[in-house]
Structure formats: C-alpha cells, structure tokens
Structure 1
Amino acid sequence: MQMSGSSSFVPDPGNGRLLRDAFGRFATGVTVVTAMAPEGCVAITANSFSSVSMEPPLVLWSPARASARYPAFAEARHFAIHVLAEDQANLAWSVARNRDALGDLTGRNAEGVPVLDHCLARFDCARFALHEAGDHAIVVGRVLRATLAEGQPLAFFGGQIAQVKIN
C-alpha cells in the first residue's frame, strides 16, 4: 500500500539519492563524537546515534568507513558523544566539513578524551564492539558516565537543520 503523495522505489546503486532522501525523512538529533588519536583530537558530526541497552549501559553510532576520520575512531578505546543544543548548528557544520575544526581542545574527560562544553548531554564511552555494516560501521560504546543540561535540541531533517517544537 502506497502512502498518499509518496513515491516508491527499490534501492540500487542507480538511485542512491532517493534512498538518501528517504533516510532524511527521519528527524534526528545531532552529535559530535570526539576521540584522542596519535595526532591529537579527532571529531566527527553524526546523527546516527541511539541508545542500545540500559544494563549494561550501551549506545551506538555509525561512522562512514570511507571517512578519513574513520581509522581514528575504529582504533579508539574511548570516545565521547556530545548531544548538541539548538545554538550549536555552526559547530555541527564546522566539524562535518573540517576534521580539524575543533583544534586542540583543552578539556579532557577522565580517559583523556577531548570534550566539548555547553552540550545537552555527553556520554563518555569505552568501545564495547565494532561491527562492519556495509559502507558504515556500528560502534557500540559502554557508557562510563553521562552528563546532561537543560536546553533545546539541535535537530536534522531532510538534509537541513530543523527545529523541534516542544509542547
């Protein structure tokens, strides 16, 4: 059964844009994931973040394996996932476009991972598992600590920054 006003397709290499557009219909939050690499702080913007388990406390995110930043995250024993606030869109785009956008962050968590200030939440994680998943990987982290703050979330929908209306 087709939804009103919709189109359908079967994913194949010739219509990847349609599949990307369909994925974009799912509104997500926006995160910046940081780790410490031999060359210093490495960061990546990701909207592929999800909670997995309460016991043990697990989260996941999915970096593209073709990314120049992927090897640093695949090797990282610890990383931090920062849930961005609505006023951090410039940060999200800056990190997405430039692997060195954060420079050398001075703040570190107990595991030495560079951390950002003023986020809605931060999950300090130890790598629990790494799974190949097509052109991406699934990185599962065991949450060592979580911090949270009040504020409105930064959202992503249809390839653009979106606002979340909270009633």
Structure 2
Amino acid sequence: MTATSDLGTPRLASPELLRSVFRRHAAGVAVITARGAAGPVGFTATSLTSVSAAPPMISFGIGTGASSWPAIAEAGHVGVHILGEHQQDLAATFARSGADRFGPSTAWREGPEGVPLLDGVPAWLVGRVAARVPAGDHRLVLAEVVLGDPTGAGRPLLYHQGRFTALRD
C-alpha cells in the first residue's frame, strides 16, 4: 500500500495564509456591544466561543485598531448577540467601518449594566469582563455570563468564504 498526500503544497505562515484557511471555516455570526463614554459601540464577530460551563464563560477577539476597542478596553460588561439568517444587513452594518451602527435602522435598547441590547436576535447574553489577554494585534476578551435569553426566533447566520450565508436543509 502506498500513501499519497492530499495536503497540497505547504505555505509559510502569514496573515494571508491564516485568512485563506479560515475562509473555509464556517462560523456563527455575533454582534458584540458595550457602553462607551461617547455612546454605544459594537462590532460583528465570528470569533465567539464558549469557554466554560462552570462558571459560564465566553470569549471573543477584537483588533486593537478597531473603533470599538477603546470602549471594550474599559467596559465592565459586554452584550453578545447571536444573529439570525434574517439579519445579514445588521451584520454588515456592524462590520462596516464608519457605519452609524446604532442609527435609526438598528432596533436596540439599554439593557442590564447599561449594555446596548439588539432587538430581534435569536439569543443574547450579557457578560462581565473577566480578562483581556494580549494576542498579537488583537485582544482575547473573556467574560463571565451573568444574564441572557435564548428564546428569540430564527435560524443562525453564518460567515463562510468571505460572505454571510444561511444553513442549508
């Protein structure tokens, strides 16, 4: 028996290699929000992960050059919103630099701890920030979940091959 390699030609690690590989990884789409000194801030994230069940903890990454970073760097609490497939426009708004993310087209309210909560999402959490860990040009934010609601309607929104998409049946 002869083994053949399906691994292709390896490439040296680079930011482009990482982006190319992760374009092939389907990820759920979330919006992270916080109360900032000048008003609410938020951004689209595909880096959301469940970290621990006891205590309930989550994590997400944010670039230190992101417009939301200064508020996230100081926030005691964050909102985490799982987006539905019907919310591609909302995901795009929170991903777009310079967008009026909390303008008239975004339905939201002030939630516990002053965290901005988006309306109409399939699920949301409020987390108390426990740590901000340096990770290259990003920070990994760890938050302990203090409150949430998993009862919203809708199927999850995904991000794959550089675009928002939905589950297929």
**Structural mapping, 1:13-162, within 5 Å:** 16-97=15-96, 98=98, 100-103=100-103, 107-148=109-150, 149-162=152-165
Q: How high is the TM-score relative to the length of structure 2?
A: 0.88
List 4+ stretches of structure 1 deviating above 6 A.
none
How far off its partner does 1:118 sit? 0.9
TM-score w.r.t. length of structure 1: 0.89
Quick check: 1:42–1:99 contact (8 Å CA) kept in 2?
Answer: no
Change (3 A) 1:156 1:90: same
Q: CA RMSD in A?
A: 1.8
C-alpha contact (below 8 Å) 1:44/1:99 kept by paired residues:
no
How many residues are treated as equivalent by the alignment? 162
Structure number having the greater strand percentage? 2
SS of the equivalent of 2:62 reads coil
Q: Which moved more, 1:32-41 or 1:145-154?
A: 145-154
Shift of 1:165: 2.4
User: % of aligned pairs identical?
Assistant: 34
CA shift in 2, pair 1:62/1:99, >3 Å = farther
The amino acid of 1:46's aligned partner reads A
Based on CA coordinates, which of the two structures has the bigger radius of gyration? 2
How far the C-alpha of 1:74 sits from its partner, in A, is 1.1
Gaps of 5+ in 1: none
